Structure 1
């Protein structure tokens, strides 16, 4: 095989599948050490081995071709909002899904799609020295974006309108709640959508906090996580307006009404009230005891419709008469089945079906009328 192989693409494809080196080695009848040497470019895989790797990872051999200008998300720069028990393999897989969407955005731009201008980079240089500083920057960002002091109707749509690409995390990576990163000169937020509407909104605002506050910080420390939580609360419920509506003591019915108005969980609202000095430590403790005893720590009941990313759906609607799923999969060098899995939460079922049907229509038409 004369094609020049990029070993990084083998690593990328393996991590995209969620495989360890041992997993891949077993599937291609090699040792984990051999896979490691191939990925480090110490040894070059022969044609048979490359074909086996291709089949095991469900990508064509062309996926591994060397190409100038490719860029990959640096795992070490990603701010993850996830359980500590989440495996490194799952984190890597979720990041590779992000890499896939970067290539997908490149594909869409090649088709003529223009995405919203990024309007966040002006806030990257902010270095908070206190929680009060975070309150200030959250309020300043809202002002910069022309927002009122009221509740945000749709956080996901807001981020997308400001040039932040919001993508769903693939179903097999749902242990990862969310993560964010600057990649390809754009801010990205990846969200697991299989959770409550209030949690997903807070996660999105939390990741926005990381993008604003922590470009130069080491991800994963408790301080940056606490700062991102404080930013999320301040961004979703601005102090100047929220404090006027907030009860001065724990009252479940009062906070439940605030939940539906501000579209935040009762627990997030209670913490917000405590951080603003409206609720005391005693009231905070009383609130969480009450919530725990009612069995609502993980599920508070009544919620609103979940927010969904819309950029990819809008983009594909504009070109759905020009491309099919098969053509997109071929261009991105992935299988159609994997492509459907990645896009499943990013576009509507109807659009997915139309893109798929277009491919079937093309495959079925063998005879055409010559133009006069």
Structure 2
């Protein structure tokens, strides 16, 4: 990695990654705004003192700013949740974080074979929403109308080739964010989950909405004409199986019992019942008012019964390489540096869904075992 040429493009990436505007960075570093813009445009290079300031404030290793991108990841489209409460600059930061996440996947793919994107090839723009959902359920062999199965949609979508990050599940105000990426014409969808606190009903609903976005993108249907929330309701609650289970359901507590069966929010069950004509509009509004008065819009009963364990592919890949002595923490970080993934261990831990200090290394590097990195695939 060259260390003599400052890469302004990487300065901008680091700034966006940290969710900072040029004005904020200028104030925090005491560097003129025009100079920062000039650095980012490679019009001229920062002094060593300014380079160190930028490195410290942005919390990126200094070496990062003196390297080039080894792989081109094209972001073709992004889907921001319209209900997000995060500042816009922080939302935009996920663009760079998910690009970095994909780089980590490309690294681990040299050792482990990840699932390819697996969507039905018989989806058509003219299909009804119910038909689209049914085709996907059949292709993924999720359930049939006689045996509806509560599901962990995160595990299912991961197995079908969608990349999912769990870095925000406990971040207050975070909403799901999806990115469509291509590397040499290999397209992947990458989802950063929102604040779901590892609760299955919330996660299932969020991921079903993001799956709706993916399907609309695959079919080239504008989101203005494709209701992702409606898709989530129909995908998670297949028509006939849901109708079979909802017989005799009339009061709010009845829908709570249904939640235990379907592992989706009560609000979604109520909406689906209304959309299928099981309850009237008046009853629908009455139930939602009760739902809100009880504070269920903030936290629903039974949520603590649906706690999930994250199933991050990156975490599992890291553990597999460590357990099989293919890498140590030191050699992993060194290898990532060689690939242009120059981050501090704490940032790698966040991206890889690892516990804090997992990548902490000993100071004495002479005791580390050197590993011959040969291409391996599971």
TM-score range, shorter chain: 0.7 to 0.9
Deviation by residue 1:293-318 (Cα, 9 ceiling, x = unmatched)? 22222111212113523312221121
The CA RMSD over aligned residues, in Å, is 2.9
Relative distance call for 1:89 and 1:72 in structure 2 (3 A) is farther
Inter-CA distance 161–138: structure 2 relative to 1 (3 Å threshold): same
Number of equivalences: 350
Instruction: Specify every segment of 5 or more residues in structure 2 that has no aligned partner in the other structure, as ranges.
Output: 371-378
The separation in 1 between residues aligned to 2:60 and 2:253, in whole angstroms, is 54
1:139 corresponds to which residue? Answer: 134
Q: Secondary structure at the match of 1:11?
A: helix
The residue correspondences of 1:261-340 to structure 2 (distance < 5 A) are 261-303=261-303, 304-320=306-322, 321-330=325-334, 331=336, 332-340=341-349
Question: Distance between the aligned counterparts of 2:169 and 2:255, measured in 1?
Answer: 32
SS at structure 2 position matched to 1:360: coil
Partner-residue secondary structure (3-state), 1:73: strand
Gaps of 5+ in 1: none
SS of residue matched to 2:176: strand
In 2: Cα distance, 1:144 partner to 1:366 partner:
47
Q: Deviations along 1:188-223, whole A, 9 cap, x unmatched?
A: 12102443431121001110110011354666x5x5
In structure 1, how many angstroms separate the alpha carbons of the residues matched to 2:84 and 2:151? Answer: 31
SS in structure 1 at match of 2:97? helix
Q: 1:205 aligns with which of 205, 208, 218?
A: 208
1:261 CA displacement? 0.7
| 1:162 alignment partner, one of 152, 160, 163 | 160
Aligned equivalent of 1:233: 233
Once residues 245 and 191 of structure 1 are traced to their aligned partners in structure 2, the CA distance between those partners, rounded to angstroms, is: 29
Partner of 1:38, secondary structure, is helix
State the TM-score, normalizing by the size of structure 2. 0.82
Match of 1:118 in 2: 117
- The CA deviation at 1:174 is 4.3
Partner Cα separation in structure 1 for residue 288 and residue 351 of structure 2: 37
Q: Name 2:37's counterpart in structure 1.
A: 36
Deviation at 1:340, TM superposition (A): 2.6
Higher helix proportion (structure 1 or 2): 1
1:78 aligns with 2:87: no
1:92 and 1:327 mapped to 2: Cα distance? 31
Q: Which has the higher contact order (CA 8 A, sep 6+)?
A: 2
Q: Give the superposition deviation at 1:319.
A: 0.3
CA distance in 1, matches of 2:369, 2:208: 53
